[in-house]
Amino acid sequence: MSSWVGLFGTPKNPVQSLAVQAGAVARPRRRQNQFGVLVGHLLYRFFHNELLASDDETKRVMLMGYAVALPGLLVALFLYPAYHAFPPNPYPRPYWPQACDHYFYVMYSFVIMGAATVYEWDLLFPDLLDVFVLSPLPIAKERLFFARVLALVIFLSLVLVGTSILGMIFLPLVAEQHSFFWHIFGHAIAVLMSGAFAAGTFLALQGILLNVVGENIFRRITPVLQGGSMMVLLAILLLEPTFTQSLAALINSGSPAVRWFPPFWFLGVYERIMVGPAALPVFHSLAWMGCLALVVVIALTVLTYPLAYRRRVKQLIEGARAARSGQRISLPVDKVLHATWLRRPQQRAVFHFVSQTILRYQRQRVMVALISGLSLALVLAELVVVRVTPGGIRPALLTGGVRAAIPILIFCTVAGLGSVLSAAADRRGTWLFSTILGRPRAVPLSGARLWITMWAMTLSVAAVLVLHRLSPESLQSNRVLIGQLVVAFGLSLLLPDIFLFHVRTLPFTHLHKSVITDVPLAIVRYFVLFPIMVMIVVGNEPWIEASPRHMVQSVLVFAVAHLLLRDAQVQSVERSVIDTAPDEADEFPQSLGLRDA
């Protein structure tokens, strides 16, 4: 019926002559002031930058938002049977299990806000684009500074509220242990304070370092700071089951480690608001420390951020001092590598190209920091257990964790570095590789594989030596040490062959187009094959260590498997045909990649 009315009714936009349109009064456009345009531009850069470079930036931002916000809802739904047992349980959920539920949300907000601040590390202060594009414009310096501050506050507030809102609503709905609105209030205060403290901590840390050490040293130590920060945050997240199993003993132990653990401070705020004066005395002191720490962090951020902002802009305009090359250290190592592994010039070129490029771009630096933090956090979560004794808290190493640490570390290193090398950097100069090398063949492609193998071996051997010193007495024999070294060298050879078997492009030169099969393959790789591989290795380590003959047999198996995979990859590369992407085909050879994208 509505279609017939629309057919015979007055048209919504009738056709008018040019004279009528010229005489019509145009609707005045809303004029946006300069400050609003600046805030919108700077806020846009937080969500659309080099870190999110892909074929669909909006999709990636939305997926990341869903991924980090969904656990708040899922945990609340998972806890429903605990609060409403079937058949109905006449006894309410005990106090300490409720405290464990509250701890998860406080801890999760702390980790997510810290990770978001570290992830956007290079955008918290002005960069070259801001200085050389915005500074010459007729914009007051104070207005530009306050626009960046407001954009930063809006961004962090959106992340904090967006990742906490589902848990803030659904946990009080599920629990029904207190007044609904009072529970929302207490939950919101504790969670928001925890996230604000984490974001403020990393902002204050960056501001202090920029003021103390300067831009040159700060740029060098940035990958280490990002990797260490991610390791701590992910370790806190992965150790959550360990802490919740003994939360009552930890809180009541009186250990200094508990009093100086930030998530426990805001758990104290949570319990102090929910229980009131009847809360345990330890929660009163923890809540007081949390409030004081938040005030101190905010004060440090307010004091150091303007000074660091000014110094950062000044150093970007003047230019950073050229860093001294580390040839004295790298030259002997390069000579050894050239005489053993890197005997062909094409291998050497790709190998050194990866070494010089991987920390040059923001996206690669952040990915390396995430991988290093995740791998170390997974190792710590599998390796360390917290034991509460009358004398305090004592960490201990698990025997199974010592054996599982090496395969976990190697798998994360190989898989992570493979992802970093497959991420595109500046592709405008990729025509040079096509001109010099032609179609990528097995020899230049092996340079990237050897680079990943070298780092996997280096990190795994260092981990074996460190764990041998710290492991229990049952694992400190020389036979165990040799067996773990065999496993470390063998996996460092095989896993790069497996992960890079189908790679047909040089590092940093190809923009991967996401397809619908990427997610299922990633789930199978990381949630099915990864645990199976770790269990197989851990199960066979005692057999390898049983006798020298078993060790020799294991070495032969690893060597034969490596040679077979390498030969199969060489034949596969020689038979394959590389399809050039449409945008790359249009640029070469007419523009040679010299045209701005």
**Ordered DSSP codes for 421-488:** HHS---GGGTHHHHHHH-S--HHHHHHHHHHHHHHHHHHHHHHHHHHHHHS-GGG-SHHHHHHHHHHH
Identify the CA nearest to 264 among candidates 181, 272, 83. 272
Close Cβ partners of 316 (under 8 Å, ≥ 6 residues apart)? 126, 127, 128, 131, 215
Close Cβ partners of 414 (under 8 Å, ≥ 6 residues apart)? 452, 456, 492, 495, 496, 499
Identify the CA nearest to 411 among candidates 493, 521, 530, 235. 530
Q: How many CB atoms lie within 10 A of CB 500?
A: 22
Tabulate helix, strand, coil % of the chain (nearest 5): 75, 0, 20
Residue 21, in any domain of the structure: no
Residue 105 to residue 73: CA distance in whole angstroms = 11
Residue 4, in any domain of the structure: no
Name residue 426's amino acid: D
Residue 586, in any domain of the structure: no
Which two structure tokens, joined as six digits, stand for 522?
A: 């990633």
The kind and range of the H/E element at 385 are strand 384-389
Does one domain contain both 360 and 239? Answer: no
Looking at residue 3, its pLDDT comes to 47
In residues, how long is the chain?
597
Domains held by the chain: number: 2
Last residue of one domain, picked from the residues 318, 343, 364: 318
Containing domain of residue 254, as a range? 34-318
Residue 286 to residue 273: CA distance in whole angstroms = 12
Q: How many CB atoms lie within 10 A of CB 98?
A: 21
Residue 496, in any domain of the structure: yes
Residue ranges of E strands in 249-319: none
CA terminus-to-terminus distance, the chain? 51
Residue 106, in any domain of the structure: yes
Does one domain contain both 229 and 180? Answer: yes
Positions of the chain with pLDDT under 50: 1-8, 55, 322-323, 325, 578-597
Does one domain contain both 357 and 314? Answer: no
Does one domain contain both 259 and 362? Answer: no
Residue 29, in any domain of the structure: no
Residue 18, in any domain of the structure: no
Residue 585, in any domain of the structure: no
Looking at residue 585, its pLDDT comes to 42
Residue 274 to residue 187: CA distance in whole angstroms = 9
Does one domain contain both 426 and 364? Answer: yes
Residue 390 to residue 527: CA distance in whole angstroms = 38
Burial class from Cβ neighbours inside 10 Å (0-12, 13-18, 19+) for residue 150 reads middle
Does one domain contain both 418 and 276? Answer: no
Name residue 160's amino acid: L
Does one domain contain both 132 and 90? Answer: yes
Does one domain contain both 307 and 357? Answer: no
Does one domain contain both 422 and 311? Answer: no
Identify the CA nearest to 305 among candidates 149, 161, 504. 149
Helix 141-175, helix 34-47: angle, nearest 10 = 60
Beta bridge partners of 336: none
